Structure 1
């Protein structure tokens, strides 16, 4: 492992402020976090409205923190912080220099679990939100695409076990991101996106 793999390095993306550390938390410790989150989180299969129909989300989710939060028309009431989430929040806050009061957990069980193109730009996140995305478990492909500039190619990333992706500044205004489906055999993945929700 290169010495800089556990520290955040800025990606060369215009109209954005994105940092990535592929091995922010090293493997033996990441294994422990994955097992704890799998066992301790209160995972739910939520449904969202799509073209007037209720459809199950293609992943399991859990919302923890100090504030309620609405996305995709889904009202999330916060559950109290688990010790493992408090521990991870402190690590992420120290690395990013930001404060977070909430976290959304996503559990991708297979390659068919996914997240479509979107931006984390809900009004309660503020004008320039800081989103810290921590991944445990199987590697998954991730991509950014610019909202308006056709001359820019999508920016691909591999979200590895123990990686930290930090999106802040104008990123959510100018870029969309996704975790696409894959037909490849992949291991289950847990993702935590820490954010600061305003009252």
Structure 2
């Protein structure tokens, strides 16, 4: 399916995009949050300052001339950055840039992707799904703005240290996040007159998880760790992928491979909580790495290998997960094949078992990391 309809994807939910002639400021107004969310966030923010505030303005109506002056004379050239917030986030997650960082038709290729169908292998291969300038910008944005985890867990009596950094957002089909209320909330900039119009820290969801059927709060023992809603920067990307693949996803799982020693061993995403014949879309950003596929049982079937470049996307669908393993092998030397790489995977989870699995193996209970000054650093977050 062509993806040209991704133009203006920054407008999501009840958000609206506004423009100003000559001095353009692109702005997004999302759903309002609750006092409970922002009180919790304020306590967190006292312990960790937000990143530089130089990208985006969130408004409910165009700014007056006085409002622009209160924000500074350089507002039109350097809009104020906005952030996705939620009590489950260790720190606010920056939204995409309003200009140059917006996912639009000029950044997304319009080809339908190459169909690769060999027996029980069913793939959709985009070369590239996102053009290089945007792919590189997305890589830098996600690397610097997302919280990362180096998860350690016990499997078959052995302690496993995950050989990559991971993070995950989403919730399964049995539940939904409570919508934010229309009350004012979030950190604002400007004087008292303008504060109600300009907010830089905007909740992506309410604090409670509700049953998708009854709309009543889900019992606390259902989820081992509170599910985390998808931040707006990944929501935009998810919508583009959904249009290109004609699928719906409720989870975004992100991996960061810092160098050639980081890898993922042969496996398949065939767990019962993904349903029958799940569709998994995997977008590559950053360095080029080999993506290797091997049949589970048939030795007479040749393996498949793809050198995934920044912006490429492989979509595994149909009977692929039931019959094929896929992996990112380790690589040595100082080449493009060992350069840092992010892959963003999109999937649909049908029950709470899946939410708990992804939380356990991709967030865990260890320290939070953040990419700062060219290195992954542990962060201490206290309320």
Asked whether the 8 Å contact 2:230–2:252 carries over to 1, the reply is no
CA distance in structure 1 between the partners assigned to 2:144 and 2:253 by the alignment: 16
Which digits, 9 at most, give the CA deviation of each residue in 1:123-178, with x for residues without a partner?
A: 11001100000110000011111111111111111111001110011101111111
TM-score by length of 2: 0.48
2: CA distance between counterparts of 1:143 and 1:77?
34
2:232 — aligned with what? 83
1:191 corresponding residue in structure 2: 343
Is residue 270 of structure 2 the alignment partner of residue 165 of structure 1? no
**Cα gap change, 1:76 to 1:134, in 2 (>3 Å):** farther
Question: 2:145 aligned with 1:40, yes or no?
Answer: yes
Task: Decide whether the 8 Å contact of 1:18 with 1:166 is kept in 2.
Answer: yes
In 1, Cα distance between equivalents of 2:290 and 2:235: 27
User: Which residue is 2:158 aligned to?
Assistant: 53
Using the alignment, how far apart are the partners of 1:188 and 1:196 within structure 2? 27
> Is 53-62 or 75-84 further displaced after alignment?
75-84
Report the number of matched residues.
Answer: 190
Q: Please give the root-mean-square deviation of Cα atoms over the aligned residues, in Å.
A: 1.8
**Deviations along 1:8-51, whole A, 9 cap, x unmatched?**
11124220211111211001101110011011211001013244
1:151 aligns with 2:329: no
Q: For the pair shown, which has the larger CA radius of gyration, 1 or 2? A: 2
Aligned partner of residue 107 in structure 1, secondary structure: strand
Unpaired segments ≥5 residues, structure 2: 1-108, 174-223, 352-383
**How is 1:116-127 mapped onto 2 (pairs within 5 angstroms)?**
116-127=265-276
Aligned positions of 1:127-142 closer than 5 A: 127-142=276-291
Task: Report the CA distance between 1:5 and its aligned residue.
Answer: 8.9
| Structure with the largest fraction of strand | 1
On the 8 A contact 1:102/1:197 being kept in 2, the answer is: yes
Task: Give the number of the structure with larger relative contact order, counting CA–CA contacts within 8 Å between residues 6 or more apart.
Answer: 1
Normalising by structure 1, what TM-score? 0.90
